[in-house]
Each structure stands twice: as structure tokens, then as C-alpha cells.
Amino acid sequence: MTRHFLRDDDLTPAEQKQVLELGMAFREDRHFRQPLNGPRAVAFITDKPTLRTQVSFATGIAELGGFPMVVDGNLAQIGTRESVADTTRVLDRMVSAIVWRTFGDERIQEMAAVSRVPVVNALTDGFHPCQILADLLTVAQHRGGVSALPGQVFAYVGDAANNMGSSYVLGGVTAGLHVRIGGPAAYLPDAEIVARAQEIAAQTGGSVTVTTDPVEAVRDADAVATDTWVSMGAEAQAAERATPFVPFQLDAELLAHAKPDAIVLHCLPAYRGKEITADVIDGPQSVVFDEAENRLHAQKALLTWLLERR
């Protein structure tokens, strides 16, 4: 059966660990496995602006021995000029996997329902699971390996009602992390996502805490992450979002409540002076550029894992 990766809980805890360990191996040797050797093509479709996602997938597909077929979603007009299903039935006869960065989750779910090749969510409005794999790989890199992840305290402060908030909750507990989410009351994760995460946490020993207190969120944390307060598509809300998020700015004062050796993550692009201050993101605890690099290794691991299970 073809496996897809549309949201973080599409991997079981054991499967996520396999992917992360493969990602660590790719960190050591970028070319140690080439499942796309041929070369076999992978379609990378983007409906949204991108830098890290496109470059990391395109580079990664090439390093796996394959050929990245980059498709401009604005030209393809999937779901407008041609149905999602028909587009998928054309693509899966030509490529070995489809990576899609798009809007509504129903679009990628429709694609996965008919695709005979793996479909990977490279960001939707609901989830950003490839970014969380990279973040978990970064925590593992700085905390003693993948086996050291269970029990780590991971805090995320800021807009938790976005795709990053949902994916941190699901992906974090799958790895056995104690995930703490801190945000304004109107910007917290969906209750169904939290309930699903609690089910997973019961299996892995992790936990989920959702709070409107930024200090409670980061207290004694091993890792602290944040993201922009204004996600793509929410630009019109920039003014109304400015005030409620101010207490959740990741500055030195807030970071001081975490463990002294806590690492700092940000999926980028970052807005210094908004969700994070320059002294924190450019400071000694920041690992944001390791995190950016790990998009490459984590996604290569994911593609390899999916292709080897077809």
C-alpha cells in the first residue's frame, strides 16, 4: 500500500524514529543512499512563496539520485483548470513521488486518495509536518541523538493556531516530548488536535500543555521555538495581531526562564523585533540555521522511507 505523509501523525512513533535516525545518517553522509537513482523524477509543486522548502526538496531529490520536477502551481492551476484527481492521475504515471506546498488540507487529501505514488505535505494551512521532522532532528542533533528525544521539554510560543502549532503538538508527542504551547487565548491549537495528541502521548510518555502564560510555557524547557505572528494568508490581520502577541515575544527575559542551555528554534523567515529579538536569534543558544539545514536531511530521510515501502 502506498504511504503518504500529509500530517505528523501519519507516522507511528516507531516509524517517526526510523525516519529521524535515517535523517541523522544523511547528516553524516549526504549520499549514502540513493533510492531515486536512474534518475527518477519527483514532482515538487508549490502554490505558495517558498525558499527553504523548494531548495531543500530540489537539492535533496538530486542528492538521492533523482530529478526534481519543479511545478509552478500558479501556472498549473490545480483544481481550477483541471481537477486535483485528474492532475494526480497524470503525474503518478510519470514521477516517483509528489511533494505539494498548497493551501487547504482537503486539496492534498484529495490528491493522496487517488495517487499511486507517495504524496508529501510540504506545507498546508493545517500542518507543516516536514518542518517538524527537521526540528526534531535538530533537537536530537544537540541533545544526544534520536533516542534522547523522549522526555525533552519542548516549548512553542506565539501563534499556536497555525500549521506550526498543530504540527508541533502532534509531531512532538509522537517523539515522546513534553510539548508546551503558549499563546494568546484566541490563537491556541484546535481542541481536536490537542485531543489526538493526548492519545499519542499516552503511548509515548509525552504530554501536551496549552497555556496563555508564556513563562509557564518556557519554564525549564530544553528547547524553545517561535514563528511569525502573521502567517501567509493572514497579512490582512497584521494590525490586530500585534498587541496580543507582545507578551509572547521570545526575548532574553523570556528565554531566561528556560534551562540555561536551552536551544532556540525558528522555522524562518524571522522578523527580528517582532516574534523574536535579534539578540536571541543571533545569540549563542540559537540553532536556527542547523534547523534550516536539517530540512534537507529530514526530507531526504522521509522520501527514502516512503519510497522503500511501496
Has residue 233 got a pLDDT over 80? no
Has residue 238 got a pLDDT over 80? no
d(CA 34, CA 115): 23
d(CA 90, CA 87): 5
In the numeric block, which cell numbers belong to residue 232?
A: 501567509
Which 8-state DSSP code applies to residue 40? P
- Give 139-180 pLDDT, tens digit per residue: 999 999 999 999 999 999 999 999 999 999 999 999 999 999
Domains of the chain: 13-127+295-308 (3.40.50.1370), 131-291 (3.40.50.1370)
**Predicted pLDDT at 242:** 76
Instruction: Assess contact for 301 and 15: CB atoms under 8 A.
Output: no
- Give 180-204 pLDDT, tens digit per residue: 999 999 999 999 999 999 999 999 9
Has residue 11 got a pLDDT over 80? yes
**Predicted pLDDT at 245:** 94
**pTM for the whole structure:** 0.97
